[in-house]
Structure 1
Amino acid sequence: MGVMGDKIAKPAKLAKLAKKATPRVAVCFDSFKGCVGAEEASRQVAAALCEAGYEAWALPMADGGEGTARVLTLAGVRQPAVDMALKAGLGNREGTSRARVMEASTFELGRMLARMSGSEGEILLGVGGSATCDGGMGLLAALGARLRFRGAEVSRPAAKDLANLQEIDLSGVKAPRVRMLVDVRAPLTGAEGAALRFSPQKGATPQQAEWLDGALRHYASVAARCIGCSAEELMAMPGGGAGGGIVVAGRLLGWQREWGAEYVIRQWLPQLQQADVIITGEGRTDESSAAGKVPFALLEAARRLGKPVILLSGCVRVPQGSGLLDGFAAVRGVSPLNASREDMTAAATVPRLKAAALHELLGLFGC
């Protein structure tokens, strides 16, 4: 049984904070996908708290998925930042869609990065929200790698070509320096990997997901020969399944990888240090959120800073007794049970977030 609707869960008893003349609150929402973005949710709730007499500021969050580049700009990061979803995401203008996961390619993303190869310093690449499952083959081809396939020559590799890959030659690659901000810790293959866990969300049928998992295993064996490691190492690499396996291509190119939520949190650290309490949340919090998603990454950072964290998500689906929520000062799912489409709009969700934030702060501060 999970924590749902308007039910409040306080797994850990927290003594009320001493009253302060003006309590300081950092509002740090991730996006509520399909409902309200991180920036809007954080700004509107912070504004409501200021009207109620708190000192509050909006620190929008992201984990490497769609919207990460915008959040980094808001946080004052001057390095160029790109969302993978811009060129290889569901519904982007290059035409990838849920019905075409086998045809989807990271080629256009590679072309964009190739044009940025003259950039000074490092490019930040948000790896998440992709429609692809090509292991980054398209990216490699666009950056100048020579990929040899059985049968006909392939100029724009996609997921359907994975099983025919025979060789990767990186000698002609011209690529910028990139730091990949990874949104999930999933491996490349297996039950929690790019194909079996995530490709159904991109439109793959069960049969296609099984085929893709086997094809990615083959891809790992070819890629491993290219850099002199074992296929098992690539298949099990934490985060290797992010972005449809593009992290493996990044490994071949020598790109750095980092957990996206942790990177974003570091950019806001001075502001977080000034807060008395942190409010965070996302569209849905469940057991998978503990694997590097914003609320739990923030909880870990707040623990080091000695700050309490309030979790306000659209819905919370965590089994009772799991202990996953024990570190939060308060937990609330703001959407009603059996929420309708109208219940999941920004116009419906933001007022609930405001009311929930005020309610929980009253419980902590008594004011």
Structure 2
Amino acid sequence: MSYGYLDDLSHSDRARYTSKLTALSAGTCPYKIPAGSWIDDPTKWPVIEWPDVAYYLIETPGVFTRESMRNRRSLEAHNQFESGWVKTVRYFKPTDSPHCILKADVIPSQRVNDTPHHPWVGLHEKDRVVTAAHCDCMAPIGKSCSHVAALLFKVEAAVRLGYTSRACTELPCYWNNDFVKKVKPAPVHSIQFYKKSATKTVSQRNRYATPSIATDREKKQLLDSLASCSRQPVGLSLFEEHCQPFCWKATAELERLPRYLTSLYKPGYASMTPTELHCEVEEILTSLTVTDAELRYVDKCTVNQTACLTWFMMRAGRTTASRAHSVLHPRLDHPSASL
């Protein structure tokens, strides 16, 4: 870790970092404390428990919330601790201060062979409270990161397992120094992605249990329950006792207007002889029919007369009552253009 870490910070970051040191009464930056002053002895660690760790991580700005802490095993920080990314935790006690400082190197989870991060935490030894913490990763100085959380998870686990109450010559020192030294690449087929306990549970589970054959009574109960639904599934149409609701019903006849006379026009009529045109008219009159239903629909659609476009379309080419007299009694000196 850089000895001049504090000096390399910006003015605002230096002020926030200095406030952490003031809260600890440390007197100096933990990154400037000589390596020989740090002690590898879990029995000197403060007794902090899970509520103390959770309270600090939740109350400190960062990625940790009440919901995420309820399922701590899914957190990246807890995975870093369980995977052995947290190296040896070392202890330092500042002079005339009620606090102590714990530090450890944490291997980056995405770049396991790169330079580790260097988080530290300051704890009040009597009150067992996390007073301040810091890491040299990219997280803002005022927020907690996964590396600080991983360090706290390791300390909490040591307290829970009783390693902080045993002599340093026993298991605690060995446990504290048990971490991943170097990650070696390996082929995919030789990597174990699941714990043995998980694979054992799956292998013991009867995945291909033979289902029992339903009785006639059970089948009837199932069909009756489906038939009572507000929207019956179409599969019921395959069963004789439930197929009646799916029988075909005649649909209402679609109402339509008779053919507009203007649609009978063809540009080729202009070149026909009178005889040819007369034959064409006779053929059209033979095929042109209007049903009673169409007449009723015309009356329904044209009740508003001039306010309705259909009224004008149906009048085109037809002699209506209002025009019958002018058709039968035209003025020979000034005949109608349409006639």
Determine if the TM-score, normalized by the shorter chain, exceeds 0.5: no
RCO higher in structure (CA 8 A, sep ≥6): 1
Q: What TM-score, normalized to structure 2?
A: 0.19
Q: What TM-score, normalized to structure 1?
A: 0.17
Answer with 1 or 2: which has the greater Rg.
Answer: 2
Whichever structure has more strand as a proportion of its residues is 1
